[in-house]
Structure 1
């Protein structure tokens, strides 16, 4: 009997947006970033080939938009070989079940995210008391019950390789979630950071809406382990990435990325960690 895939009972459209919603940016010939409301998905693969992987799956109710973005870039009826998740928070798995059913492709995630992707365990409650603006205050309305992908989700290979993404390796970057990963390609310094760090102050509605470029830590209202989050940023800065796509905010590259990441590492406690909140200390 085929297993029924389902979202949590709290799954719903979240009415937030930004000026970059619906906008796509080609960062490299085989790396394309598209913003859905306030979160980014990445398409990895050259449009001249049929090698395509989708990284993350957007906000709730975004499957049709993701399908059309892919078909616009790769041609009608194009489908990825796989979907890779940086983590399983609602804004990174929002279109996932519809996409899995539509394409019949496997999903891969870190072992430690599996309970949140197979219906076993909810993420900790978002923290509306955390230092920050209106998005932080709205966070109790964000879905946090687990999605159930059943046998459609598989654990990433333990050797760091990523199926259908030759040249990239996954790096465990916990803090924002237990099994959070980032994806890195040594040959050109391309980094898909997920929410390990962001390039917008994700807690503030005005900054989210305007997408003001500013290095920041992971979204505060959903980050539960700040020491691990700090170590993850240190790990990524050590890689000396040349271009970075983050889960929230605009891509960053070159000298701006280098100096911003260095600043984030050196001033992590001031920049990233909130002065107060349920998960601080």
Structure 2
């Protein structure tokens, strides 16, 4: 498990599978995504290595319900007075009230999925969702994080934009693989995901914290360029 400082108040936690982001405000910590079901211990270790305490985590924001993003949430939710948040369409799956529909794989994605072993990920334990989010909601961290609905990867996928900080958390709508910024894979509706990608390209963020891969520095220009050249 690696810890990467993106800026003083923001760290990328590279987990056994997947990744999470930790934002540090003076009054507490916010986690964006939580890795797979076994990631709670890794996240706790990272917080300790940064000289912080797990009971300083005051909120968790889940970009969507996939196992590699919400799997550790149930563990983190037990650390103290933690508010767990997700889009209202994701909440029933995260709570375990209904099953998640599978992605609509392309043939290439189906082979990639098998090769990654992603179908063998441990299921995410059910986790409470204390606050159900909608497009345009503002979450109290980083000077105010605006929720942007980005359907397509899943129906209730979200991004988070911190205008004061110039940071955008994209979830899996954006990926950064082998130095290439691209739309994410394994989507429910690729065309809708591409519309969401284009929406994020217009945000004007300086740094994009993607669901998989390195943060994208100079995100404004790069996302706009990719959006212009997207192949439908």
Structure-2-length-normalised TM-score: 0.88
Deviates more, 1:173-182 or 1:260-269: 260-269
Q: Is residue 240 of structure 1 aligned with residue 204 of structure 2?
A: yes
Q: Which of 261, 264, 274 is matched with 2:226 structurally? A: 264
Could you list the runs of 5+ residues in structure 2 that have no partner in the other structure?
A: none
How far is 1:136 from its partner? 1.4
Structure-1-length-normalised TM-score: 0.74
1:198 to 1:53, Cα distance in 2 relative to 1, 3 A: same
How far is 1:153 from its partner? 3.1
Partner of 1:110: 87
- Following superposition of structure 1 onto structure 2, how do residues 209-224 of structure 1 map, counting pairs within 5 Å? 212-218=178-184, 220=185, 222-224=186-188
How far is 1:75 from its partner? 2.3
1:147 to 1:174, Cα distance in 2 relative to 1, 3 A: farther
- Following superposition of structure 1 onto structure 2, how do residues 136-155 of structure 1 map, counting pairs within 5 Å? 136-137=113-114, 138-142=117-121, 147-150=125-128, 152-155=129-132
Deviations 1:164-200 (A, max 9, x none): 4532211111111111111111123211111111101
Contact between 1:107 and 1:154, CA under 8 Å: does it hold in 2? yes
Q: Is residue 166 of structure 1 aligned with residue 128 of structure 2?
A: no
Superposed CA RMSD in Å reads 2.3
Partner of 2:4: 25
Q: Is residue 227 of structure 1 aligned with residue 204 of structure 2?
A: no
Query: Following the alignment from structure 1 to structure 2, what is the Cα–Cα distance between the partners of residues 230 and 183?
Result: 17
Could you list the runs of 5+ residues in structure 1 that have no partner in the other structure?
A: 1-21, 201-211, 271-281
Q: 3-state DSSP class of the match of 1:199? A: strand
Aligned residues between the structures: 230
Query: Following the alignment from structure 2 to structure 1, what is the Cα–Cα distance between the partners of residues 99 and 89?
Result: 13
Partner of 1:9: none
Query: Following the alignment from structure 2 to structure 1, what is the Cα–Cα distance between the partners of residues 27 and 50?
Result: 11
Deviates more, 1:169-178 or 1:180-189: 180-189
Deviations 1:92-138 (A, max 9, x none): 11211111123341201111111211212222225666314864123
Q: 3-state DSSP class of the match of 1:182? A: strand
Q: 3-state DSSP class of the match of 2:175? A: coil
How far is 1:51 from its partner? 2.3
Indicate the structure (1 or 2) with the bigger Cα radius of gyration: 1
Q: Is residue 188 of structure 1 aligned with residue 180 of structure 2?
A: no
Deviations 1:68-98 (A, max 9, x none): 1112224245421111111111001121111
- Following superposition of structure 1 onto structure 2, how do residues 200-211 of structure 1 map, counting pairs within 5 Å? 200=177
Query: Following the alignment from structure 2 to structure 1, what is the Cα–Cα distance between the partners of residues 106 and 166?
Result: 37
Give the structure, 1 or 2, with the largest relative contact order (CA under 8 Å, sep 6 or more): 1
